Structure 1
Amino acid sequence: MPINTKDTTVAEAMTKAQRKAKLAQVLDRGMVSDRLVVKDADPRKHYEWCRDTEIDIDRWRSLGFEVEQEKGEGLHGKGDDRRVVGDAVLMSCSKQNFEILEELKAERKERKRRMNAKKEYLMRARKFNPDIPVLDPLNVEGSEE
């Protein structure tokens, strides 16, 4: 049965096996590579791509990151040693610094989860028992909210 090209795209006309073979061929030729993967990365460092704006770079620097000049592939050089792909620049910090940042993120996430659980508990308790004072279960002193 002939394929009506007006109603179907090339991708729709191909079977899954044909599409897979074509994509494998493109990847084998090296036409598409992931530029954001840091090859030969230093195991003592953590790498992040951040937006190439002064504000974002300063924000990342305040967290202990530095603009990476040794590792990574860049596409669009600006005459310096920075690794730039599109509007992103490669930055790095020590693994130890990154682990501390991850711990802080986890602690903040847990604190936020507990606060939301507390608010939801108090809201439900007040909704079902509007005339009865509700004690805060997370408050050490046991005072009413």
Structure 2
Amino acid sequence: MSSNFYSATFIPEGNGLYIVSVVHEAKELGGTTKYEFSSVAGVAVGPVNTVDLTAIPNTLKVAVSEAKNYKINTLVQLKATHNNKPLANKHVSVFSPEGWTKEFTTDENGAISFSPAWPGRYVLEVSTHEKVKGEHNGKSYTAAWQGSTSSFEVDK
């Protein structure tokens, strides 16, 4: 970790979709809840079509369905999964580079779609909250919250 952000570099060995993933559990509980934050970024090298969410080790994920250059006013499809199963009827927040925010609800396949109105980087966010018991850093918890983000770029 450098300063207040993570930084990494890599040299791709060939064409394909490379996934950069960070998962971080909060050191302390929030009351009796354990918190886990994760983020996923895809780096497409050469021709790539679909995004295989099962290849990403994070248990909670939200990402675009295709690795491509998205255009404004063109449909973007997203998928959310938890433990590699579709995350049905969950809220996914979409944040635009212009400050627009909208909350969508996933269908039974964990999917949503929308047409972006502005060029720039869009951020996606999904979370889960489960009543589970466990121990974290020597303290008991009764619930676990997970949040996951990813982003994608939209051109004019």
- Give the TM-score range, shorter chain: under 0.3
Instruction: Give the structure with the higher percent helix.
Output: 1
Q: TM (normalized to structure 1)?
A: 0.21
Higher relative contact order (CA 8 A, sep 6+): 2
